[in-house]
Amino acid sequence: MRAGVLSDDKVIKFLNDKFINVWVSNVELERTPRKKAYMAERRKDLPNAFDRSHPFAKPIMEGWTEHSPVDCLVISPEFDVMGKLQLNNFFDDCYKSGISDEVGYLTFLNASLDVKFPGFNENTSTDPLLTGANIVLDSEHHEENVLHILRAPRHGEQDYNVITIDTTAFENGGTLTIEIQMGSAISGGSFDLFDNDTELPTKGTPTETVASVWDIPSGQKGTIHYQFDKGIIFKLGATGTWFSGKGNINAFHAKISVEENY
């Protein structure tokens, strides 16, 4: 990074104008069991080591990517992760897209400021600016994990981020289960499951859902179970709760699986 994008004057000026730039060592945050053991010994001599319970540490630990040695995170003043970039793959992605590293990095930073949450769909798409997610389940691959975000709308409105769930391979039907874990940021979450032909509402209480779970508090869990006779494409709409304050965001993890009928 220092010899690449961080040596570009335009990038440096943009970072200095728009962000407060800090870095934290993976060792200090005890990211792996080996680092935890090392820090346990180190703290005996350094009692003022980085506090993992500090509010700033939580979004860093929520935003990092497994096996990534370096992550670039954009964090809001409210400690919400607005964007994340795994540098292990960043340079390859820029090369494949035919853009320079500097342009790719500025695109990531601007997308974070524009509340597009780049990096939250790396498990389902190579497009860093995608605001939805698409998964396909079948007999060989009947479970998928998705990390995504939601944003709280104005009271009485809906502001869905949509995950498309393709279950058409299950011709005899089955049971769709969606286990949701909310992140620790401000907004709670509400989740509505629709069939693919339903137009998602933007106002009022949704009435054409096939299943829902509403008002999951920050840090808590909720589950949707839905039995279907024949596989179709579903749309899972995720939105912040009406009482979370307009614009507040949170991440959520969804484990989506199908138990097939035989």
Tokens of 116: 């597009």
Lowest-pLDDT range, 127-131, 146-150, 241-245? 127-131
- Comparing 39-43, 89-93, 186-190, 224-228, the range with the smallest average pLDDT is 39-43
CA 238/CA 151 separation, integer angstroms: 8
The pair of structure tokens assigned to 16 is: 């200095």
For 53, the 3-state DSSP assignment is: coil
Residue whose pair of structure tokens reads 């350094």 in the numeric block: 46
Check residue 5 and report its DSSP letter.
Answer: G
Q: Which residues partner with 192 through β-bridges?
A: 212, 237
Q: Are 209 and 192 in contact (CB under 8 A)?
A: yes
- CA–centroid distance for 79 within its chain: 14
What integer pLDDT is reported at residue 123 of this predicted model?
Answer: 41
- Count the neighbouring beta carbons within 10 Å of the beta carbon of residue 262: 5
Element (H, E) at 101: helix 101-113
Say what the pLDDT of residue 125 is: 35
Residues 125, 151, 222, 64: what is their CA dihedral angle, to the nearest 10 degrees? Answer: 50
Q: Give the pLDDT band (50/70/90) at residue 126.
A: very low
Convert the pLDDT of each residue in 230-255 to its tens digit: 999 999 999 999 998 887 888 888 99
Q: 74 has which bridge partners?
A: 83
d(CA 175, CA 210): 13
Using a 10 angstrom Cβ sphere, with 0-12 exposed, 13-18 middle and 19 or more buried, the burial of residue 207 is exposed
| Nearest-angstrom CA–CA distance, 76 and 162 | 23
Secondary-structure percent of the chain, ordered helix, strand, coil, rounded to 5: 20, 30, 45
Does this model's pTM top 0.75? no
The segment with the largest mean pLDDT, out of 24-28, 119-123, 251-255, is 251-255
Condensed to tens digits (0 to 9), the pLDDT of residues 185-231 reads: 788 999 999 999 999 999 999 999 999 999 999 889 999 999 999 99
Cα distances from 222 to residues 62, 155, 209, 253, in angstroms, run 19, 21, 17, 11
pLDDT at 259: 95
Most confident of 85-99, 124-138, 176-190: 176-190
C-beta of residue 250 within 8 angstroms of C-beta of residue 238: no
